[in-house]
Amino acid sequence: MSDVILRLALPSPLRRLFDYRATAAMARQPLTPGMRIRVPFGRREMIGILVEVCATSEVPADKLKPAIALLDPTSPLPPALFKLCLWTAQYYQHSLGDTLSWALPVLLRQGEAAEIRQERFWQVTADARLDDPRIARAPRQREALQTLSQHPHGVAHSLLSKLGLNKDSLDLLLAKQLVQLEVRRQRPATRHEHWLAQPELPLNDEQRAAFEAVRSGFGSFHAFLLAGVTGSGKTEVYLQLIRETLEAGKQALVLIPEINLGPQTLARFEQRFNARIALLHSAVNDRERLDAWLAARDGEADIIIGTRSALFTPMKNPGLIIIDEEHDGSYKQQEGLRYHARDLALVRAHQENVPILLGSATPSLESLHNAHTGRYGLLRMNHRAGGAKQPRFLRLDVRSRPLDSGISGPLQQAIGKTLEAGQQVLVFLNRRGFAPTLLCHDCGWMSGCPRCDARMTVHQRSGVLRCHHCGYDERLPLRCPKCAHVDLRPVGAGTERAEERLKVLFPDFPVLRVDRDSTSRKDAMHNLFTTIQRGQPSILVGTQMLAKGHHFPRVTLVAILDADGGLFSGDFRASERMAQLIVQVAGRAGRAEEPGKVIVQTHLAEHPLLVQLTEEGYFAFAEQALSERRSAGLPPFAHLALLRAEAHKPGQAEGFLDEACSAAERLLAEQGGQGIELLGPVPAPMERRAGRFRAQLLLQASARAPLHRLISAWLLELEQMPSGRQVRWSLDVDPVDLY
């Protein structure tokens, strides 16, 4: 045994590192941070990541356990990525081991070799001939030989069926030594001389200005916010900047929101370039993810496209980072390591000294603020690229008007007129299901979830009541569970009800619903969109799945059934999200020759934020909302951290948070932390969820440094608190949802 101490990050929530003794054999190897090492942990084994090598440990020598095995000859993580993970763990006050677990591909965490997989390749032998007499009467073997001979580098075993190659024929050919089988690494696709597979569009003046600004920032860290209205041609700007990046011999990383993963977005990148594209998103399997990660790391992928976690993909030659739809909520991870991929992308761009471009038609208030203060260069594109006009907005005051499944009389007329004119209508309602509640007209019973402080949604078609917060469901009752009467009425409207009603109102036109329930089948979404693209008059009803990235040229009327939810919510970000959704949905309309119209149904037609949004547009709204945030001392003018706790028994979570609050007050007194307020503990807005009682404590600070100083000392105390063992708790730095 050696005296070399290995200090490891282990996949544990504890915010500390763990020491092990290196075996004599390990100690003779060059040991560098990032290497994976298998160690004993309790009665199990774990894979840890080497953080540093030391000569001494605070652990008594007889307690120090030897490591079991070194898994890597060199570190699989490049230093830049390791540094990013260190920064992330520090900033989000998360255990480094767990941070690395979130950041690395699953197979690497499980100990898989950090090398691109070896594969079997079928190849024609040098002296094989198609007119070989041994296959003269074997047409299938001849066909297989012919197909294979068109692939001089061989065909990977996994691709045989794709090329219509039959394994039995190949086995027969193998026996005749007309083909051979070779095990080797997937040959990296060759780099191309000509990057463009498709001509570029000539940029218009606004696009050119944005393009030139970012290009002049190539080669070092610069941050830009591309605020371009929907349809202004942001994607074309991204594509041309990526081409510049490739020509400079560098790689581009593109993050897209989860909801944009449709084939439409990816196809635009794939069609434009002769490039090796690595895809990293939820639909790729673990092996594909690891291969894409390795290809990016080794410079064998030119463009890396993925959702949130793709931010942690290493790059050999990073040249540009693009965050599409930077305002999108899916960039924030809401469990475990609660990071924000957009914010971390900025850190990464800075660390790797490359430019970063954030794009959106509806930038987050945080990013707009950063543009105002000069941290980001602001690039505006105010016109639609194809020449289409911006849609017009109308607020439709529905106070005291009867709503028929959520649809007012004037809106029905507008829909009818649009269909008669041969155009399409998009009806937006951000609520799935038939109705948000079931009510007994006799006794007032309502369909509460037994596990949450929430109502269960009526799903008529599948015949269930379902809770959208915990997933609990039960059969739709025929009689009231309380008084046994049969007068049960669905209250309010979701997409399913709107769809049903629209079908009755407009029986001559197809009504298509797009939400998570209707599109859960794999091709459902694709089929829907093909139908819509065909262009005959029809109605599309859907949730926010409709809001992103799609292009519906024949939609000329967009109806927002209910804009009010965002205007009186307890969450200070609700109005921002509502405005973004309305503008994004509206942006689907009239993208071709006909101008679009957007009708917003509301009970708050005079609400200043709604007036501003519909009359002067998103940027005027955003200025107003920013000035409200400033006077209320809310982000981006303040910094937040939220300590959440939940427990099975009522009062337990608050008990822990009370203690946590006292500890924070004491630390604040010791540290002289100025400008930090502790708000709470209070029960969460929805106190009971999935059978647990939840509470929270909000920390609000005028400056970031004292807040971070406080929480790093605080968390170490929280980890030791006995009351913390009975609850599940977590800290969210820069929380996005305050629930």
Q: Binding residues for ligand ADP, per CB under 6 A?
A: 201-204, 207, 228, 230-236, 385-386
> Which residue in 20, 91, 102, 472 binds Zn ion (CB under 5 A)?
472
Give dist(CA 322, CA 237) in Å, integer.
11
Partner touching 480 among ligand ADP, Zn ion, none, CB below 5 to 8 Å by kind: Zn ion
Nearer to Zn ion, 315 or 465 (CB): 465
Nearer to Zn ion, 488 or 676 (CB): 488
* Residues in CB range of 356: below 8 A, 6 or more apart: 221, 222, 223, 224, 320, 321, 322, 323, 345, 346, 349
- Residue 339 interacts with Zn ion (CB under 5 A): yes or no: no
Phi/psi at 229 (nearest 5 deg)?
A: -55, 160
Contact region for Zn ion (CB under 5 A) — 48-56, 136-144, 437-445, 602-610?
437-445
Give dist(CA 412, CA 427) in Å, integer.
11
CB of 657 to Zn ion, least distance (A): 23
CB of 594 to ligand ADP, least distance (A): 15
**Closest of 175, 166, 171 to residue 143, by C-alpha:** 166
- Residue 467 interacts with Zn ion (CB under 5 A): yes or no: yes
SS3 of residue 322 by DSSP: strand
CB of 602 to ligand ADP, least distance (A): 26
Contact region for Zn ion (CB under 5 A) — 186-194, 473-481, 600-608, 631-639?
473-481
> Which residue in 442, 473, 474, 571 binds Zn ion (CB under 5 A)?
442
- Number of Cβ atoms within 10 Å of the Cβ of 640: 19
- Residue 439 interacts with Zn ion (CB under 5 A): yes or no: no
Nearer to ligand ADP, 362 or 575 (CB): 362
SS3 of residue 515 by DSSP: coil
Phi/psi at 324 (nearest 5 deg)?
A: -80, 145
Nearer to ligand ADP, 231 or 355 (CB): 231
Partner touching 452 among ligand ADP, Zn ion, none, CB below 5 to 8 Å by kind: Zn ion
Partner touching 228 among ligand ADP, Zn ion, none, CB below 5 to 8 Å by kind: ligand ADP
> Which residue in 445, 572, 637, 739 binds Zn ion (CB under 5 A)?
445
- Please count the helices (runs of H) and the strands (runs of E) in the chain: 20, 32
CB of 440 to Zn ion, least distance (A): 3
- Residue 449 interacts with Zn ion (CB under 5 A): yes or no: yes
Give dist(CA 170, CA 176) in Å, integer.
10
> Which residue in 295, 381, 452, 609 binds Zn ion (CB under 5 A)?
452
Token duo for residue 184:
């080797």
Nearer to Zn ion, 265 or 457 (CB): 457
CB of 198 to ligand ADP, least distance (A): 11
Nearer to Zn ion, 387 or 471 (CB): 471
Nearer to ligand ADP, 231 or 314 (CB): 231
Nearer to ligand ADP, 235 or 309 (CB): 235
SS3 of residue 544 by DSSP: helix
Instruction: Give me the residue label for tokens 């300590």.
Output: 643
**Do residues 340 and 366 lie in contact, with contact meaning Cβ atoms separated by under 8 Å?**
no
CB of 561 to ligand ADP, least distance (A): 24
Nearer to ligand ADP, 141 or 544 (CB): 544
Give dist(CA 26, CA 150) in Å, integer.
48
Ranges within 613-652 binding Zn ion (CB under 5 A): none
Partner touching 235 among ligand ADP, Zn ion, none, CB below 5 to 8 Å by kind: ligand ADP
Angle formed at CA 126 by CA 123 and CA 130, multiple of 5 degrees: 80
Partner touching 54 among Zn ion, ligand ADP, none, CB below 5 to 8 Å by kind: none
> Which residue in 440, 613, 647, 653 binds Zn ion (CB under 5 A)?
440
Token duo for residue 466:
């379902």
**Do residues 81 and 312 lie in contact, with contact meaning Cβ atoms separated by under 8 Å?**
yes
SS3 of residue 298 by DSSP: coil
> Which residue in 61, 136, 421, 443 binds Zn ion (CB under 5 A)?
443
CB of 254 to ligand ADP, least distance (A): 12
**Do residues 739 and 454 lie in contact, with contact meaning Cβ atoms separated by under 8 Å?**
no
Partner touching 130 among Zn ion, ligand ADP, none, CB below 5 to 8 Å by kind: none
Give dist(CA 283, CA 22) in Å, integer.
39
Nearer to Zn ion, 91 or 472 (CB): 472
Give dist(CA 7, CA 33) in Å, integer.
9
Query: Distance of CA 449 to CAs 516, 519, 622, 688, Å?
Result: 21, 25, 37, 10
CB of 272 to ligand ADP, least distance (A): 11
Element (H, E) at 639: strand 639-647
**Closest of 526, 567, 525 to residue 543, by C-alpha:** 525
> Which residue in 482, 489, 516, 648 binds Zn ion (CB under 5 A)?
482
Give dist(CA 89, CA 518) in Å, integer.
39
Partner touching 204 among Zn ion, ligand ADP, none, CB below 5 to 8 Å by kind: ligand ADP
Give dist(CA 21, CA 60) in Å, integer.
11
Nearer to ligand ADP, 30 or 199 (CB): 199
Nearer to ligand ADP, 233 or 681 (CB): 233
Length of the chain: 739
- Residue 486 interacts with Zn ion (CB under 5 A): yes or no: no
Partner touching 417 among Zn ion, ligand ADP, none, CB below 5 to 8 Å by kind: none
- Residue 469 interacts with Zn ion (CB under 5 A): yes or no: yes
- Residue 470 interacts with Zn ion (CB under 5 A): yes or no: yes
CB of 450 to Zn ion, least distance (A): 7
Q: Which residue intervals of 36-78 are DSSP H helices?
A: none
- Give, rounded to a whole angstrom, the gap between the first and last alpha carbons of the chain: 51
**Closest of 339, 517, 502 to residue 406, by C-alpha:** 502
Nearer to Zn ion, 221 or 739 (CB): 739
CB of 234 to ligand ADP, least distance (A): 3
In terms of phi and psi (left: phi > 0; alpha: psi -120 to 50; beta: otherwise), the region of 307 is beta
Angle between helices 574-586 and 618-632 (to 10 degrees): 170
Residues that bind Zn ion (CB under 5 A): 440, 442-443, 445, 449, 451-452, 467, 469-470, 472, 480, 482-483
